[in-house]
Amino acid sequence: GGPGPRPPPGCPQRRLGPRERRDLQHEILAVLGLPGRPRPRAPPAGARLPASAPLFMLDLYHAMAGDDDEDGGSRERLLGRADLVMSFVNMVELDRALGPQEPHWKEFRFDLTQIPAGEAVTAAEFRIYKLPSTHPLNRTLHVSMFEVVRERANRESDLFFLDLQTLRAGDEGWLVLDVTAASDRWLLNRNKDLGLRLYVETEDGHSVDPGLAGLLGQRAPRSKQPFMVTFFRASSSPIRAPR
Amino acid sequence: AVRPLKRRLPKKTNELPQPNRLPGIFDDIHGSHGRHVCRRHELYVSFQDLGWLDWVIAPQGYSAYYCEGECSFPLDSCMNATNHAILQSLVHLMKPDAVPKACCAPTKLSATSVLYYDSSNNVILRKHRNMVVKACGCH
């Protein structure tokens, strides 16, 4: 616990030059599996409030780091066999509430360009917060999620079913939808945004506007905005090119 | 020729310290030339010192530790020596110029996790294996 060994008196204390310091940092980033130093855009002043994704990821971090002392056993169970967990916050939200007879839906688009190469997806989930519905809706609601595989100009887009959750109109809390099945396509065309479409129906099959059902979108408070979380497993430990 | 006086070899004590007794203050934890025996030392990697706290959310740094110390025969049990290391340090005694001493190196490593923003402000949690020394020994 004391300070590290003092260099023997004969050893000159050498300060690193700026270029050596940069090389050293680059080397450490490579060990951390990073191509370079990330430059996150400083959140606008108003966005200082804690956001849903970092809050969720911080819980995950404490769960993972807390298990370090028990050397991994329960950690492995808790986080599957993930080496990397990524939460995607860049999202465009489209609301579609056409005429009364048309189905209502909410669509979310995610930028996947930051997905690291060489990592296999072990699980992916879409998280959206639900408040108790303020409208006199049937007690039971069915929330279904689809991937938008291809958009069509003159007709409905091609959709791929991902998950269905049943809940009550009065429920409150985070709704977790499993979107792992959509990840097969990500790895093929990484630079295409991922589109996820969400429908809400009553027990007797009527389409309900997700907002009326109490599902919060981008306009919700930052700590309750929807986001996506993906768990990756390193397919092979990245061999660092020797410098 | 006058027969050189036989040098009295120092009496070798064969007793080894109790297996799990860490060297006490009166034990000779100094190997030859007053150096320390092989053991784990504190090493703190500070992301603050690296100037990275604008994108690393947690931790601010972590104790990575490092191994340093002498692997001198007899390698007692608190040095986690492999059989090969014991053999090598014995042969080193006989041929010090030909065979080096065994090395003090990590025998158990564990992972550490880092939570950070990427350039698109996505939040990433990455587990890095073999980043923390849990135990050292002679190899």
**CB-based contact A54 B43, cutoff 8 Å:** no
**CB-based contact A114 B122, cutoff 8 Å:** yes
Q: Does A1 touch chain B (CB under 8 A)?
A: yes
Q: Does A32 touch chain B (CB under 8 A)?
A: yes
Question: What ipTM did this prediction achieve?
Answer: 0.77
- The per-residue pLDDT for B26 is 37
Distance of CA A162 to the CA centre of its chain: 16
A6, with CB counted inside 10 A (0-12, 13-18, 19+), is: exposed
Nearest chain B residue to A227, by CA: B122
**CB-based contact A65 B113, cutoff 8 Å:** yes
Nearest chain B residue to A88, by CA: B122
Q: Summarize pLDDT for A71-126 with one digit per residue, the tens.
A: 444 445 546 568 889 998 767 787 766 666 677 889 999 888 877 777 788 889 99
Instruction: Assess whether the previous peptide bond of B74 is cis (omega < 30° from 0).
Output: yes
Q: Are B136 and B104 in contact (CB under 8 A)?
A: yes
DSSP three-state, residue A96: strand
Q: How many CA atoms within 13 Å lie on the side-chain side of A240?
A: 12
A42 or B96: whose pLDDT is higher?
B96
**CB-based contact A65 B55, cutoff 8 Å:** no
Residues near A202 by Cβ (< 8 Å), separated by ≥ 6? A137, A138, A140, A141, A142, A208
Q: Are B41 and B66 in contact (CB under 8 A)?
A: yes
Give the C-alpha separation, A95 to A199, whole Å. Answer: 11
* Backbone conformation region of residue B24, classed left if phi is above 0, alpha if psi is from -120 to 50, else beta: beta
A106 C-beta neighbours (distance < 10 Å), count: 23
**What is the gyration radius of the CA atoms in chain B, in angstroms?**
22
Length of chain A: 243
Which stretch of A85-99, A221-235, B1-15, B97-111 has the lowest confidence by average pLDDT?
A: B1-15
Of B58, B118, B134, the CB nearest to A38: B118
Of B42, B50, B55, the CB nearest to A40: B55
Q: Enter the DSSP assignment of B120.
A: T
Give the C-alpha separation, A207 to A197, whole Å. Answer: 14
**CB-based contact B123 A1, cutoff 8 Å:** no
**CB-based contact A84 B58, cutoff 8 Å:** no
Q: Does B112 touch chain A (CB under 8 A)?
A: yes
Q: How confident is the model at residue B16 (pLDDT cuts 50, 70, 90)?
A: very low
Give the C-alpha separation, A159 to A176, whole Å. Answer: 20
